[in-house]
Structure 1
Amino acid sequence: MGDIVVQKIVRPERVVSGPWLEVIASNLDYHRATFLWKCEGLSEAQLRQRPVQSSALTLLGLMRHLQGVERAWFQRTLAATTPQFFPYRTYVTGAGDEWYDESDPTPAGDVYEDYLKACEESRQVFARVTDDPARLVPNPEFGDTEVRFVLQHVIEEYARHVGHADLLREAIDGAIGE
């Protein structure tokens, strides 16, 4: 099927004991793969589908959001560098927050490739900035935080959004799984 965006996803085995950073890195990769598993085998139209009438949330929108999570937390917060975000269409809410616009026309294949690139960039940053998990990093949202907190927060982001993805996927085509 040529219109399928995310092909077969094989989730990695998780490291469940051993050095803390290995466990965290393993769990991050597991959650990244789990999110993609929820998108596996869907067409662009399905990834853009809004199956919950009271929400504008889509799997493609979650993918755009998660590339931003990867770059903001790993590059901007942990590495103190300026990330190169893909120029997705955004809007500013009444509260002044900037959010991704679900009507962004970027092809799903490009969003998927950008997401994969963001994850790889994060893996490279992870290897460089986690030598001292107790190191404090400035964080405008939470105040100064330890590297450990940032890593845990990224896992928290994935846990929340994989749950959203699970519900969206089931609403799109009935597919279920852990």
Structure 2
Amino acid sequence: MRRAPVGDIVVQKIVRPERVVSGPWLEVIASNLDYHRATFLWKCEGLPEQRLRQRPLPSSALTLLGLMRHLQGVERAWFQGALAGTAPRFFPYATYVTDAGDEWYDESDPTPATEVHEDYLRACEESRQVFARVTADPGRLVPNPMFGGTDVRFVLEHVIEEYARHVGHADLLREAIDGAAGE
């Protein structure tokens, strides 16, 4: 991937972890989550703040920085909220209410990209810290306003689905920003 001057880079060099491809199901899932987390950051690697905020596609809400804000919310909503049953501790980003009544992150939020990146890393670490506790019984049912009652396995798979979808978006955004393409 192309690099910006070192002093301006928000996400430094990312080394994606090896995935566990066989063994206990929870180890496979945990390693795949970490792989997708690192893959998302790899798509943001080496860019300065103005590139992370860039809207290279005809969308008013799709930027790499916006995806980073969204994914910290995914981590906290699903791990802290759905699985741990606690009130998620979200960073106070600016939001707006869509025509459909949903709350979404406002791309004009002035939070510096370095703070968004640090918050995203904290959200991932918080999820890793509660993982063992919330996955002790993968068949445990958890209330889910979006899908109805689901088990822990479904929630974990849904988080991977969120990452897979948004890593695809990040791949397209990154290529549109500076031509860098990955796998």
Normalising by structure 2, we get a TM-score of 0.96
Name the CA distance, whole Å, in 2 between partners of 1:96 and 1:56.
16
Matched, 1:143 2:159: no
Name the CA distance, whole Å, in 2 between partners of 1:110 and 1:26.
26
- The alpha carbon displacement at 1:125 in A equals 1.0
1:30 to 29, 35, 55: 35
Name the CA distance, whole Å, in 2 between partners of 1:80 and 1:169.
35
Residue aligning to 2:3: none
**Deviation digits for residues 47-75 of structure 1, max 9, x if unmatched?**
00000024430000000000000000000
Residue aligning to 2:80: 75
- The alpha carbon displacement at 1:95 in A equals 1.2
Gaps of 5+ in 2: 1-5
2:22 to 11, 17, 34: 17
Name the CA distance, whole Å, in 1 between partners of 2:156 and 2:11.
26
Residue aligning to 1:106: 111
Opposite residue 177 of structure 2, the aligned amino acid is I
**Deviation digits for residues 99-149 of structure 1, max 9, x if unmatched?**
000110000000000000000000011111101000000011101100000
SS of match in other structure, 1:42: coil
Distance 1:144 1:13, change over 3 A: same
Stretches of 4+ moved more than 3 A in 1?
none
Residue aligning to 2:159: 154
2:7 to 2, 24, 30: 2
Name the CA distance, whole Å, in 1 between partners of 2:72 and 2:106.
14
Compute the RMSD of aligned alpha carbons: 0.7
Gaps of 5+ in 1: none
Residue aligning to 1:125: 130
Opposite residue 65 of structure 1, the aligned amino acid is H
Aligned length: 178
SS of match in other structure, 1:41: coil
Name the CA distance, whole Å, in 2 between partners of 1:35 and 1:15.
18
Normalising by structure 1, we get a TM-score of 0.99
